[in-house]
Amino acid sequence: MYLRELFDWLKGLAEPAEISGMKRQKSDPETRRAFLIDCARINRISALVILTMTLLMECLMVLIYLLRPIFTTQAKFFPQYIYMYVSMIVFSACFLVLLDIMKRSPGALLKLQTAMLAAVSVWSAVFSAFDVINGFSSYLFIQMIMINSLAFRINPYVHCAVNAGGFCVYAVLVLAADLSLTITFAEIINPFLMMIAACVMIILNFQTKFTSYINESLIREQNRKLEFYANNDFLTKIPNRKSIEEYLDRALSENPGVIACMMVDIDDFKRYNDTYGHIMGDNCLIRIASIIGKHAAERGGRAGRYGGEEFLAIFTGKRKEQMTGVAEELISLVRDERIEFSESAGNLFVTVSIGMYIEDNPRNADKYLLISLADAALYTAKKEGKDKISVYRKAE
């Protein structure tokens, strides 16, 4: 027991993180369910093709049966086949209709596809058994299990059980017929071996596709993470400087009429870090960033961490008095958060100062000019006592 635990521990050390993650995903029921739902959409195309071809083929066979007296009276025809043709026509038509009805419900679609495979397996088994009894071959059952094993992906154990069930129906009918031992053995052993081969293909095909699905999922997840951290600040999880400047570029190019830049700075943040330590400082940044980001989004703007304890918020399409109100609300929200700061200059809690510049005609405006003017207004707010807003005024 201890040796086994030691072996597993050593294996975990030697195993790359990517493989460990893949194994965890393979054993995750939700991942498997998501894969099967994805398979249901792909299976639908295969089902539509097979059912359409079967419907056309059986209609042709019924037509030949009905017209045979016109062309020849010598051809040997077994009447029981007409029932097989008609039953398959009805079956194919019904399943084609159901596939269209359930196309937007993957879970129900997967169950329908499983039922369709079971019905095809039984039907082809009965048809092939009649063929063998009437002196023909069991090719239809063999063809159908090979086709559905390659064309469909459902739960592999259920799929194998469906094929095994069809073979049992076929074997019972053949064994019940009055055939020679040689013919019976030959017509049982070949479908049996093909059924085993089909089950092996089902399992291998499923595992291969499932592994590919997990690999693609891991790649997509890594890409999402890379994209997120390329555009968002690692600590605060709000847009970073690159992202907020790109947003400002887009806003200027769209010429929204009025654009406001707010530079938000946490008051006396260096002293806060010195007093409480960098861990508490990081927690403070995260809480303030969350307030700024949420407030900006609720007011139709975008905010990002510009650097250190500074944040840049962009708003478009609002009147000047509205922008001032938005800034005052933000200052109040930070106060209401009541982040303790015993060493602050004029308050017992963390506060912010805001410098704002509003551009009436941003058509030819330079983003760096807008940011620098907002920063100049922030300097004024700091100079005038902090915990307040200052709006940059153009010289008349």
The CA distance from 211 to 226, in Å, is 22
pLDDT for 7-53, tens place per residue?
454 445 444 444 444 455 555 778 888 888 888 888 888 889 888 98
pLDDT greater at residue 393 or residue 302: 302
What does the pLDDT average to over 206-227? 88
Q: What angle do CA 64, 69, 73 make, to 5 degrees?
A: 115
Query: Is 90 exceeded by the pLDDT of residue 306?
Result: yes
Name the nearest CA neighbour of 84 among 26, 54, 126, 45: 126
Query: Is 70 exceeded by the pLDDT of residue 334?
Result: yes
pTM of the shown model: 0.61
pLDDT for res 396? 43
pLDDT for 89-118, tens place per residue?
998 999 999 988 988 888 888 899 999 999
**C-beta separation of 117 from 104 below 8 A:** no
Q: For residue 83, what are its two tokens?
A: 């029932």
CB atoms within 10 A of CB 217: 17
Write down the mean pLDDT value for the chain: 85
**Those residues with Cβ within 8 angstroms of residue 365's Cβ, 6 or more apart along the chain or in another chain:** 252, 259, 359
